[in-house]
Amino acid sequence: MPLRRLATATALATSLAAAPLAAAEDGVTTFTLENGMDVVVIEDTRAPVAVHMVWYRVGSSDEPPGKSGIAHYLEHLMFKGTEKRAPGEFSEVVEAQGGSDNAFTSFDYTGYFQRVASDRLSLMMEMEADRMTNLVLSDEVARPELGVVLEERSQRTDSNPGALFGEQRRAALFLNHPYGRPIIGWRSEIEELDMQDALDFYADHYAPNNAILVVAGDVTADEVRALANEHYGPIPANPEIAERQRPAEPPHLAERRLMFDDPQISQPYLVRSYLAPERDPGNQEEAAALVYLADLLGGSSATSLMGKALEFETQKAVYTSAFYSGTSYDDTSFGLVIVPAPGRSLPEAEADLDAVLARFMEEGPDMEAFARIKTQIKASQIFARDNLQSRARRYGEALTAGLTVEDVQAWPDILQAVTPEDVMAAAERLFDKRRSVTGYATPTAPQEVSQ
C-alpha cells in the first residue's frame, strides 16, 4: 500500500551542514539545501557535458478536480517568461549556448531539463531558479499555448486509438485515485483552463522545498553545491506546501471489462491490467518480484512463457507481452497484452491468456529463464551507466515517487535477492480478477447500408 508522507519530510529533516545522505553508488553525492531543496549529483567526466534537471513533486495526479491538464499546461507556460526574461527567451539562451532543453509532466512529477556544456551550468541554474517563483504570464502568450496543448492532445491521443484505449482502461482501473485521469487532461477540461488556473497551481506547488535538483555529467559535487547555494539557496521555502492528498482506492470487488472500437484499429487485441503495488520506501521487495514476473511472462517472445506457449508451441498469437513499472507514488498497474493470430477471436485469446497464467501458477517459473533475467538485470546496471540522462532521470523519478536515495541505491541489490518463491507469492497476490480491467480493442465494424 502507498505510504502517505509529507513530500517535504526528507527535505526538512536535513540541513546543509549535515553529511551527505548516502554515497553508495559510485560518483553519486546527495545533500539538501537549507531551504529544503534536495540535490543529487552524478559525476561522469567522459564528455564535457552536464545535464541539469529540476523535478517538482507535483504531477497530474495532484490537480484539483475539474482542472485535469493544469500541471501539463503550466509546464508549457513555464517557458513564457519571468520578470527578468521575455517569453521564449529561456530556450533561446539555452540554444545560444549550444544546449537543448525540454520538460515533461507525469502523474507524480513535473520536470525541466537542459543539456549543456558543463561550464554553462551556472547560467542554467540562474535561469531555472528564476522561473521557480518569478513566472510572469499574459493572455497574449497563454492563450495560443492552450491551442498548442489541444493540438498535442489531438496528435498524441485523439488521433491514436492505442492511446485512447489506454486512457479508457486506466479510467476503469482506478475507481477513485486520480491516476485514472490522463496526464494531458480530458479535452473538455483542457478547453476551460486559463492562465489564472496555471498561476494558482504554480503558487501552490513550485518552491525549493518541493523540488529536487539533479545534475549529472562533468561536474564535481563541491562545484554543484556552491552553485546550487548561490542560485537556489536564496529562494525561501514555502511553508504552505501541502501534503500530497490523493483519494485512495476503495476495495475492488468487481472485475471490469471494456469494449473499445475505432476505425483506425486494423486488428483486434486484448490488454488486461491488474492493480499492482509499487516500490515503497524501505519496502521494495514486492515490486522487485513483479519486475521478474513481467519478464518471465512476457519479456521477449522467444524466452517468455506467453511467447513460448502462444507464439512458438502453438501459433495462437502474433504478439504477446507483459509490462510493469514499479516507480510510482501510489499503486500502479501490471499489464498483459495479446494480439491473437488471424482468425482467432478475442474471447479465445482471453482464454489462451488465462490458460498461460494458470500454467504459470501451477508449474512455477522456468529456472533457467529466472537465472537469465537475474543476469540481465545485473548487466543492465552496467549498460545504464552509458546514458547520463537516464541515470539522472532514475533519481528524479524515484525521489518524486516518494522513494529515498537509499531506496534507489538499494534497488539493484533487492532485485538480485529476488527468489522464485518471491515471484510466485507476488503473482498469487496480484492475479485477482476483481482487481483487473480486461479491454478488447477491435476495428469499427463497417456500417450496414440499406439497399
Partner 1 sequence: MMIRTFAAACFAALSSALPLHAEVDIQEVTTPGGITAWLVEEPSIPFVALEIRFKGGTSLDAPGKRGAINLMTGLLEEGAGDLDSRAFAAARDGLAAGFGYDSYDDSFSVSAEFLTETADEALELLRLSLREPRFEQADIDRVKAQVQSGIDSDKTDPDTIAQDTFAELAFGDHPYGSAPSGTTESLAALTRDDLLEAVDRVMARDRLYVAAVGDVDAETLSIWLDRLFADLPETGAPMPEAVPYAVESGVTVVPFDTPQSVVVFAQNGIPRDDERFFEAYLAMQVLGGGGFNNRLMEEVRVKRGLTYGIGAYLSPRDYSETISGGFSSDNGKVAEAIAIVQDEWRRMREEGLSDEEVQRVKTYLTGAYPLRFDGNARIARILVGMQMEDLGLDYVNTRNARIDAVTDEELTAFIDDVLDPDGLHFVVVGQPEGLEATAN
The CA–CA distances, whole Å, from 161 to 168, 268, 337 equal: 11, 12, 15
Q: Which of 25, 63, 75, 286 is catalytic?
A: 75
In the list 308, 357, 410, 414, the residue contacting partner 1 (rule: CB under 8 A) is 308
Q: Residue 85 is which amino acid?
A: R
Site string for partner 1, 156-195 (x = CB under 8 A): x-xx------------------------------------
Piece in contact with partner 1 (CB under 8 A), picked from 58-66, 296-304, 355-363, 407-415: 296-304
The grid coordinates listed for 9 are 519530510
Any contact of residue 314 with partner 1 (CB under 8 A)? Answer: no
In the list 64, 66, 84, 98, the residue contacting partner 1 (rule: CB under 8 A) is 98
In the list 17, 382, 445, 449, the residue contacting partner 1 (rule: CB under 8 A) is 382
Binding to partner 1 in span 245-274, by CB under 8 A? 263-267
Any contact of residue 47 with partner 1 (CB under 8 A)? Answer: yes
CB of 267 to partner 1, least distance (A): 6
CB of 25 to partner 1, least distance (A): 14
Quick check: 184 and 69 in contact, CB under 8 A? yes
Q: Which of 86, 432, 131 is nearest to 276 (CA)?
A: 432
Print burial letters for 414-447: b (CB count within 10 Å at least 16), e (below 16): bbeebebebbbebbeebbeeebbbbbbbbeeeee
End-to-end CA distance of the chain: 59
Binding to partner 1 in span 191-230, by CB under 8 A? 217-218
Establish whether 152 is a catalytic residue: no
Strand order in the sheet with 211-217: 28-32, 38-43, 211-217, 49-56, 110-117, 100-105
Distance in angstroms (rounded) separating the CA atoms of residues 260 and 241: 40
Of 235 and 291, CB closest to partner 1:
291
Quick check: 269 and 260 in contact, CB under 8 A? no
CB of 159 to partner 1, least distance (A): 5
Piece in contact with partner 1 (CB under 8 A), picked from 1-9, 56-64, 67-75, 366-374: 366-374
CB of 426 to partner 1, least distance (A): 21
Any contact of residue 147 with partner 1 (CB under 8 A)? Answer: yes
| φ, ψ for residue 341, nearest 5 deg | -65, 150
In the list 59, 81, 99, 111, the residue contacting partner 1 (rule: CB under 8 A) is 99
Quick check: 202 and 133 in contact, CB under 8 A? no
Piece in contact with partner 1 (CB under 8 A), picked from 17-25, 53-61, 242-250, 367-375: 367-375
Any contact of residue 108 with partner 1 (CB under 8 A)? Answer: no
| φ, ψ for residue 349, nearest 5 deg | -65, -40
Angle 419-422-427 from CA coordinates, rounded to 5°: 130
Distance in angstroms (rounded) separating the CA atoms of residues 82 and 85: 5
* Binding residues with partner 1: total (CB under 8 A): 69
User: Residue 114: which H helix or E strand, with range?
Assistant: strand 110-117
The grid coordinates listed for 400 are 518524486
The grid coordinates listed for 30 are 546527495
CB of 144 to partner 1, least distance (A): 4
In the list 349, 356, 388, 437, the residue contacting partner 1 (rule: CB under 8 A) is 388
Piece in contact with partner 1 (CB under 8 A), picked from 112-120, 248-256, 283-291, 421-429: 112-120
Piece in contact with partner 1 (CB under 8 A), picked from 8-16, 111-119, 223-231, 398-406: 111-119
Distance in angstroms (rounded) separating the CA atoms of residues 321 and 337: 5
Any contact of residue 138 with partner 1 (CB under 8 A)? Answer: no
Q: Partners of 28 in the beta sheet? A: 42
In the list 15, 138, 154, 283, the residue contacting partner 1 (rule: CB under 8 A) is 154
In the list 171, 318, 357, 414, the residue contacting partner 1 (rule: CB under 8 A) is 318
Distance in angstroms (rounded) separating the CA atoms of residues 289 and 82: 46
Distance in angstroms (rounded) separating the CA atoms of residues 261 and 360: 31
Chain positions contacting partner 1, by CB under 8 A = 46-49, 79, 88, 91-92, 95-100, 115-119, 143-148, 150-152, 154-156, 158-159, 217-218, 263-267, 300, 302-303, 308, 311-312, 315, 318-319, 339, 341-342, 368-369, 371-373, 375-376, 378-380, 382-383, 385-388, 443
